Amino acid sequence: MDGAAANFPDINFIIFHVGLPFIDEICWQLVRYPNLYACIAATVNFIVRAPRQFAENMGKLMFWCGEDKILYGGETPIWHPRWALDAFWKFELPEDMVTGYGYPQLTMQAKKKILGGNLARLMGIDVEKKVQELQR
Q: Rounded distance, CA 48 to CA 37, Å? A: 24
The answer, yes or no, to whether residue 79 has pLDDT greater than 80, is no
Question: How is residue 76 annotated by DSSP?
Answer: T
The answer, yes or no, to whether residue 28 has pLDDT greater than 80, is yes
What is residue 75's predicted lDDT score, i.e. its pLDDT? 66
Q: How many CB atoms lie within 10 A of CB 133?
A: 9
The answer, yes or no, to whether residue 82 has pLDDT greater than 70, is yes
The predicted model scores a pTM of 0.90
Mean pLDDT for 48-65 is 95
Domains parsed from the chain with CATH numbers: 2-135 (3.20.20.140)
Mean pLDDT for 17-27 is 89
Q: Rounded distance, CA 128 to CA 28, Å? A: 33
